[in-house]
Structure 1
C-alpha cells in the first residue's frame, strides 16, 4: 500500500518577464496548518515532504516544465543531474507545439529519479472534444495503475484548470465505480498563491470536503429516487450522527420491503428529527430535499386507501413497478373495506372484498374492471410466474399502463363510491 500524490505541472509564471514564461514556479512560503515550508517552488514537493509520501504522478503537456521537474528532484533527492539529458529535454520542449506528438518526449529518466511509485503522464491541451477524451483516457490510466489499498493525495494548484475537473472525475470514479480497489482519497490540496501577497505566506487548503459533497448528493438521490438510504446513512455514521443515520436506514428498509405501517411510523419519526438541529455537515444542505421526501410518507391523517394509492404512485414514478402493482391492488381492496365500513386489517374481510368485486352488481364497475387488470399483474409478480403466453409485450404493457391505472383508481377514490 503506497501513498501517492497526483499533481499537474504547468509552464511556470511570468514573474521575471511578461514576454516569456520563467520555466519555474514562483518561490513561496507554503503553510499547511501551523507548519511552514519557506522558499518552496514546488507545491508537490511540499506535500510529498509533509505527508511522507511514497510517489508522485505528474501530469503535463509537451510544453510543461519537465526539465525543471528533473532538475529540482535530482537536487532534492541528492542525485547527480545528467546535464545532457536536461539540456536535450529543455531544447525539445522549446521546439514542441500544442499539436506535437506526445511520444516526442522521453520522461523515463524523470520517473526513475522520482522513484518506484511515481509516473509521468503526458496529455494534450484539450482544445477540442477529441483531445478532451484522449486526455481523459490517459489520466484514467491512473486507476488501473494504482494498487489495492493505495492512498492518494491530489494537488490542483498548477496547470490547466480543466485538469482539476479531470481529477475530480477520477476521484468520483475511484469512489463510486472502483471501490473494489479500496483506494482512499486522503486529500485534495490547493496552494492559494492568489493571497500570498496579502497574507505574506501561501495557505494550503484541503478541498476534500467539497469533493465529498458529490457523495452526499448521491446519497440523497438514492433515497429520494429509490428509497435506498444506506449510502447517506453511512456518511452520517462517519460524522457520528448515528441516530439520524439509523432512522434513515429504518425508513429505507421499510420502503424496500413495502411495510406500509412501518413506512408511516418511520417517516414520522424522521420528519420530527429533521425539524430539529442538524449537524454542520454537507447534510445540512440536503435537509430540505429530505424533508420533502419524508412528507410524502408521513401522512397519518389520510385514509389508508389513499395512503396506499399514493405509495403505489411513488413506486411507479421511480420505476419500481413490481412493488407498485402489489400496493395498487391492495389499495383497491382497502378502499372497498373503507366504503363498506369493514376492518381493513382483517384478512377474512379483505378476502370478502375480493369476492365482492365478482358480484353481478359490481363486476362491471370501473373499479372492478381496473382490479381485474391490475390483480393478474400483481399475482404474476408476487408468485414470479412464467406462465405460457406471457410475452415481452405483456411486460411492456404492464409498465406502460402503470401510471394510467394509478390515475384511474385515484379518480374513483375521490368519489367515495364504487364506480
Structure 2
C-alpha cells in the first residue's frame, strides 16, 4: 500500500527571476492547523503533511518542470544537472498551445525520480481530439496504482479543466478498472481565502500571508451518492449506496430489497416493500446527501409496486420495469410466471403446480386447450377474441421457451435480437389483454370456467 498524490502543475509565477513561494495551512485529524512556510509548490506541503510516497504530476510542455526538477534534487539530495534544468526552463519558456511533446525531455526526469515522482504530459485540450488524447494519456495512472493505495488529489494548479480530468480518471479507475483504492483527500489551495497570521520564529514575531488548503472530497462523495442512487433507481442495486447508510435497520431492509430484486424473489420483494413502508419516517430522517436521494428512490418503488394486489399484475409490472432496465431474462420469466398466475386465478386454482410443463397440471391443460382452439380457428374465420387468444398463447409459449433456454443453458436459441423485440411487444400486449374484461368473460364462457 502506498500514498499517492496526483496533482496538476502550471507555469508558475516568477518574481525577480525566481518562482514565487507561498505559505499553506492544513488541518490535521485533531483539527489543529499546521502551517507550511515558504513552499515552492502546494504539493511540497502536502507531501510533508501526509507522508506521500509518490507524486504524479499532470501538465503541459509549458509547466514549470525546471523548478520541479530543482526541488526534487534538493529534497532527495541528488546532484542537480544545471544543463538539464536550463533545458527544461527553455522548453517551458518557448512553449505554446501547439508545442509537441518532443520539445521537452520528460523521460529523463521520470527515470531520475522513478518511484518518487512522475510527470504525465498533456495537451491544452483545445478540441475534441486533444481531449480524447489527454484522456488516453492519463489512463497511464491506472497502471501506476495498486490495490490498497491511498489517493490524494490536488486540483489547485494548471488548467481548471484538470480538476474535471482528475475526477474522470479516478472514476474510470475505480469503476471500470476495478482498482481497490481509497480517495483520502481532494485538496485545493484557496488563495482567495488567504489570511494573515503572526507567528514567532527565531525569537521574533513575523507576519505570514497564508493560503488554507481545503478538502473538497465531499464532491467525490456526492458523486458516489448520485451514482448509487442511479444504480438503485434504475437497476435495483443498492450495493454502492449501502456503504454510505449508517442506520442498520434502513441498511438491512434496502439490502434485502436489492438482493430480492436481483434474484427475482417475488415474495421477498413484496414483503420487503411492506417493511420499507413501515420505516418510511426513519428513511425520511436520513441526514446528509442521502436525505435528498434515498427517500425519493424508495418511494418511487413503492409507488410502482406497493399497491398491486394480484400476483400476476405484480409480475407483469415487474416485467415492465425489468425491460426498461434491459434485464431481458427476468422479463421472460416474469411474463411466463405471470401468465401462469393469471390462468390459475382465472380457473380459481389454489394449488399452483411448480412444473408448468407437467401435462397433468390444470394450467398446462388450459394452454393446451387454447392451442387446439387456435388450430381449429385457422380453418375458420377468426373473430376478435380468437386473435387475442392466439396472442395470449404465443406469448406464453415463446416466453416458456426463452425461460427454458435460460434455465438449462441449452444453447439451442440464436434469436436474441428477435426475442428482445418480442418481449418489448409482450410487455405492452399483456397489460392490455389482462385488463380486457370482455376477453376475460369470453375465455370463462368458452372453457366453461
Answer whether TM exceeds 0.5 for this pair. Answer: yes
Is 1:31 equivalent to 2:26 in the alignment?
A: yes
TM-score (norm 1): 0.85
Is 1:279 equivalent to 2:286 in the alignment?
A: yes
Partners of 1:387 and 1:363 in 2: CA distance: 30
**Matching residue of 1:326:** 333
Structure 1 portions without partners, runs of 5+: none
**Matching residue of 2:319:** 312
**What is the aligned length?**
406
- Structure 1 residues 354 and 378, CA gap change in structure 2 (3 angstroms): same
Partners of 2:148 and 2:92 in 1: CA distance: 36
Counterpart of 1:100 in 2: which secondary structure?
Answer: coil
Counterpart of 2:38 in 1: which secondary structure?
Answer: strand
**Matching residue of 1:297:** 305
Partners of 2:118 and 2:371 in 1: CA distance: 80
**Matching residue of 2:436:** 415
**Matching residue of 2:193:** 195
Partners of 1:372 and 1:362 in 2: CA distance: 11
Would you say the 8 A contact 1:412–1:418 is kept in 2? no
Deviations 1:308-334 (A, max 9, x none): 221221122222222222222332333
TM-score (norm 2): 0.80
Q: Among residues 223, 236, 253, which one is paired with 1:247 in the alignment?
A: 253
Would you say the 8 A contact 1:311–1:327 is kept in 2? yes
CA RMSD of aligned residues (A): 3.1
**Equivalences for residues 186-265 of structure 1 within 5 A:** 186-197=184-195, 201-233=210-242, 235-236=243-244, 239-265=245-271
Deviations 1:249-270 (A, max 9, x none): 2112222232222111112222
- Structure 1 residues 198 and 36, CA gap change in structure 2 (3 angstroms): closer
Counterpart of 2:305 in 1: which secondary structure?
Answer: coil
Would you say the 8 A contact 1:69–1:110 is kept in 2? no
Partners of 2:132 and 2:337 in 1: CA distance: 51
**Matching residue of 1:165:** 164
Question: Offset at 1:158?
Answer: 0.5
**Matching residue of 2:379:** none
Partners of 2:152 and 2:409 in 1: CA distance: 52
Question: Offset at 1:74?
Answer: 3.3
Q: Among residues 417, 421, 424, which one is paired with 1:400 in the alignment?
A: 421
Would you say the 8 A contact 1:25–1:42 is kept in 2? no
- Structure 1 residues 323 and 87, CA gap change in structure 2 (3 angstroms): closer
- Structure 1 residues 240 and 382, CA gap change in structure 2 (3 angstroms): same
Question: Offset at 1:230?
Answer: 2.7
Partners of 1:152 and 1:401 in 2: CA distance: 48
Partners of 1:230 and 1:329 in 2: CA distance: 29
Question: Offset at 1:198?
Answer: 8.5
Partners of 2:341 and 2:63 in 1: CA distance: 71
Question: Offset at 1:52?
Answer: 0.5
Deviations 1:385-415 (A, max 9, x none): 6889x6644x433211223223222223223
Counterpart of 1:286 in 2: which secondary structure?
Answer: helix
Would you say the 8 A contact 2:370–2:390 is kept in 1? no
